[in-house]
Amino acid sequence: MAQGAVSLGKGGNVDRDAPGNGQMSGSSYIEGDMKTFVRFSLYSLTVLALVFSATGAAAAPGKHVLRSGNTFTVVPTGVDDTVNLQNAFNLALAAFPLSSLQEGTRSRPISPEITSRTNLPLGAELSISASLGRGNTGRFPLVVDLFIQQAKLLATDGAAWNMFGISAALSADGNTALVVMSNRRSSKVWSAYIFVRSGTTWSQEAKLLASDGAVGESFGASVALSSDGNTALVGSDDSAYAFVRSGTTWSQQAQLLGADGAAVGASVALSADGNTALLGAPGDTVGGNSGQGSAYIFIRSGTTWSQQAKLLASDGAVGERFGASVALSADGNTALVGAYATFPGTQGSVYALVRSGTTWSQQAKLLASDGAVQDQFGCSLALSDDGNTALVGAYKIIIGSNTDQGAAYAFVRSGTTWSQQAKVLASDGAAGDYFGLSVSLSADGNIALVGAPDDTADSNTMQGSAYFFVRSGTTWSQQAKLLASDGAAWDQFGYASAMSADGHTALVGAYYDTVGGNEGQGSAYIFHLWQPTIFLPMVMRN
Rounded to whole angstroms, the Cα distance separating 387 from 169 reads: 18
Rounded Cα distance between 9 and 15, Å, is 15
**Integer Cα distance of 531 and 145 in angstroms:** 5
Whether the bond into 121 is cis, omega within 30 of 0: no
Structure confidence by residue, pLDDT tens digits, 374-387: 999 999 999 999 99
CA angle in degrees (0–180, nearest 5) for 42-483-486:
140
DSSP-assigned letter for residue 90: H
Q: Tell which residue, 158, 202, 215, has the closest CA to residue 181.
A: 158
Please name each of the domains of the chain with its CATH number. 5-144 (no CATH), 148-530 (2.130.10.130)
From CA 44, how far away is CA 145, in angstroms rounded?
A: 5
pLDDT tens digits, 101-127: 332 222 222 222 222 222 322 222 222
Question: How much is the pLDDT for 146?
Answer: 56
Contact 87, 75 (CB under 8 A): no
* Strands 137-144 and 45-46, bridge-based pairing: antiparallel
> What is the Cα–Cα distance from 184 to 162, expressed in whole angstroms?
7
Could you list the pLDDT tens digit for every one of the 542 residues in the chain? 222 222 222 222 222 222 222 222 222 223 333 333 333 233 333 333 333 333 333 333 333 333 333 333 333 333 332 333 334 334 443 333 333 333 222 222 222 222 222 232 222 222 222 223 333 322 233 333 457 788 999 999 999 999 999 999 999 999 999 999 987 666 567 899 999 999 989 999 999 999 887 655 689 999 999 999 999 999 998 999 999 999 999 999 999 999 999 999 999 999 999 999 999 999 999 999 999 999 999 999 999 999 999 999 999 999 999 999 999 999 999 999 999 998 777 899 999 999 999 999 999 999 999 999 999 999 999 999 999 999 999 999 999 999 999 999 999 999 999 999 999 999 999 999 999 999 999 999 999 999 999 999 989 999 999 999 999 899 999 888 899 989 999 999 999 999 999 999 999 999 999 999 999 999 999 998 754 333 333 323 22
